[in-house]
């Protein structure tokens, strides 16, 4: 990985400049954001007294960010994580509303002058539980749901209109906002309408979307986080000098918590990049005392995990295949066998 950053002078010259996230990342010599590159870019900016608005680590790569002074950064909201649902150390960014495909999917809605029959037709044909009522693209008037339609059974009016069944109290969130704090709300209400920063409604999130996304999208992040946390524990016997050997000159802490994921492989790989790496790798493996574990296969599987990890850290990655998920789960079981 290339880790040559722009000089402090060059970074200061960017103050006030606006550019897409992908361009900012490329200025640091990286092709994409990963768990390894995001902390490096953040540190280089912070060391120069700079940051980005909005936070480049949390935006889609096409979003434009502005380089600003560190003290000009928007304050982070204080969020109390739900009990029993806390991300592991492997997560380097918050999950956002816009990370769910349905938040930016094709939103079907009716205008305020539409008939009730038109709204019901959309719900029936699309197998939806609700349909928004929106004037233009951003003026929300309410939502029609099957529950509100069912109230017609108790109404004396023979010909009801859209306004007769429309619910006007609707929960709304924006794509750049955090997802986790809103999970209880989605669970209670059953759905959440989503709009972009410009106010245009872009999608809807339901409890079914959350369940599907968690399996396909969030689960890999949690598995990778679990792997990294357990990997650090099982590699604890490795001495600090072996770790420091792989760290940059200005960051030789000797702490395994400060290592990049790819460096875990070099710690154990018998075919190290340099002769001294291979020598230390042999000593490190011996110190672990894993007599019933095949070293070549362990390193190979660890490298597979690294490749999967880099893919999901790109933030625009497609959902992992079942084979990739199985690779992560298998490696978790291997690490469980070696935990103290």
Tell me the pLDDT tens digit for each residue of 285-335: 999 999 999 999 999 999 999 988 888 765 544 667 889 989 999 999 999
Alpha helices in the chain (DSSP H): 8-12, 21-27, 37-47, 116-126, 146-150, 162-165, 183-189, 207-213, 219-234, 240-245, 261-268, 275-288, 295-312, 322-338
More confident residue, 220 or 94: 220
Assess whether pLDDT exceeds 70 at residue 193.
yes
Nearest CA to 213 among 98, 336, 93?
Answer: 98
Share of the chain above pLDDT 70, in %: 84
Assess whether pLDDT exceeds 80 at residue 242.
yes
Assess whether pLDDT exceeds 90 at residue 202.
yes
What is the signed CA dihedral for 198, 41, 217, 106, rounded to 10 degrees? 20
HSE value, Cβ hemisphere, 13 Å, CA-based, for 174: 9
| Tokens representing residue 123 in the block | 């719900």
pLDDT band at 338 (very low <50, low <70, confident <90, very high): very high
**Which one-letter DSSP state was computed for residue 139?**
E
| Per-residue model confidence (pLDDT) at position 60 | 67
| Tokens representing residue 187 in the block | 């669970």
| Per-residue model confidence (pLDDT) at position 334 | 95
What whole-number distance in Å separates Cα of residue 283 and Cα of residue 254? 16
Tell me the pLDDT tens digit for each residue of 146-182: 988 887 766 665 677 888 889 999 999 999 888 888 9
Q: Hey, how many other C-beta atoms are within 10 angstroms of the C-beta on 135?
A: 12
Average pLDDT over residues 203-225: 83
DSSP class per residue in 143-166: EEEHHHHHGGGG---SS--HHHH-
pLDDT band at 123 (very low <50, low <70, confident <90, very high): very high
pTM of the entire predicted model:
0.51
Q: Which domains does the chain have, with CATH numbers?
A: 8-72 (no CATH), 97-205 (3.10.580.10), 212-338 (no CATH)
Average pLDDT over residues 257-282: 85
| Tokens representing residue 165 in the block | 């069944």
Classify each residue of 312-323 as buried b or exposed e, where b means 16 or more C-beta atoms within 10 Å of its C-beta.
Answer: bbebeeebbeee
- Sole residue written with tokens 């059974």: 153
**3-state SS class at 203:** strand
What whole-number distance in Å separates Cα of residue 164 and Cα of residue 148? 9
Tell me the pLDDT tens digit for each residue of 32-76: 776 567 778 888 888 888 999 888 876 666 778 899 988 765 444
Tell me the pLDDT tens digit for each residue of 249-258: 877 888 988 8
Which residues lie closer than 8 Å to 154 by C-beta, 6 or more apart? none
Kindly state the helix (H) or strand (E) to which residue 206 belongs, with its residue range. Answer: strand 201-206
More confident residue, 132 or 260: 132
**Residue 132 and residue 195 in contact, taking contact as beta carbons nearer than 8 Å:** no
Assess whether pLDDT exceeds 60 at residue 87.
no
**Residue 119 and residue 162 in contact, taking contact as beta carbons nearer than 8 Å:** yes
Which residues lie closer than 8 Å to 252 by C-beta, 6 or more apart? 244
| Tokens representing residue 100 in the block | 């769910």
Q: Is 332 exposed, middle or buried (0-12, 13-18, 19+ CB in 10 A)?
A: middle
| pLDDT, averaged across the chain | 83
Share of the chain above pLDDT 90, in %: 39
What whole-number distance in Å separates Cα of residue 71 and Cα of residue 322? 44
Average pLDDT over residues 103-115: 92
Q: Which of 111-115, 154-158, 278-282, 299-303 has the lowest mean pLDDT?
A: 154-158
């Amino acid at each position: 990985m290339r880790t040559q950053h722009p000089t402090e002078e060059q970074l200061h010259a960017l103050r006030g400049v606006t550019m897409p996230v992908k361009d900012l990342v490329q200025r640091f010599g990286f092709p994409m954001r990963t768990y390894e590159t995001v902390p490096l870019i953040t540190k280089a900016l912070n060391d120069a007294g700079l940051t980005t608005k909005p936070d480049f680590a949390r935006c889609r790569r096409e979003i434009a960010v502005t380089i600003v002074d560190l003290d000009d950064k928007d304050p982070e909201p204080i969020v109390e994580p739900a009990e029993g649902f806390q991300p592991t150390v492997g997560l380097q960014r918050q999950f956002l509303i816009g990370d769910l495909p349905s938040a930016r999917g094709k939103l079907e809605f009716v205008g305020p002058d539409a008939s009730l029959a038109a709204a019901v037709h959309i719900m029936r044909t699309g197998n939806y539980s609700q349909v928004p009522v929106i004037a233009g693209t951003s003026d929300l008037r309410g939502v029609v749901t099957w529950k509100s339609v069912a109230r017609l059974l108790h109404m004396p009016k023979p010909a009801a209109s859209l306004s007769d069944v429309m619910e006007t109290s609707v929960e709304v969130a924006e794509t750049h906002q955090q997802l986790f704090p809103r999970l209880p709300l989605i669970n209670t209400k059953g759905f959440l309408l989503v709009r972009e920063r410009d106010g245009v409604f872009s999608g809807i999130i339901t409890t079914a979307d959350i369940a599907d996304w968690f399996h396909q999208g969030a689960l890999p992040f949690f598995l990778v986080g679990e792997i990294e946390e357990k990997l650090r524990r099982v590699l604890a016997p490795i001495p600090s000098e072996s770790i420091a050997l792989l760290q940059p000159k200005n960051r030789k802490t000797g702490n395994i918590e400060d290592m990049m994921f790819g460096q875990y492989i070099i710690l154990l790989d018998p075919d190290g990049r340099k002769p001294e790496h291979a020598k230390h790798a042999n000593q490190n493996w011996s110190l672990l005392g894993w007599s019933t574990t095949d070293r070549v296969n362990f390193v190979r599987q660890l490298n597979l995990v690294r490749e999967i990890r880099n893919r999901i850290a790109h933030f625009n990655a497609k959902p992992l295949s079942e084979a990739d998920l199985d690779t992560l789960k298998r490696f978790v079981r291997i690490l469980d066998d070696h935990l103290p």
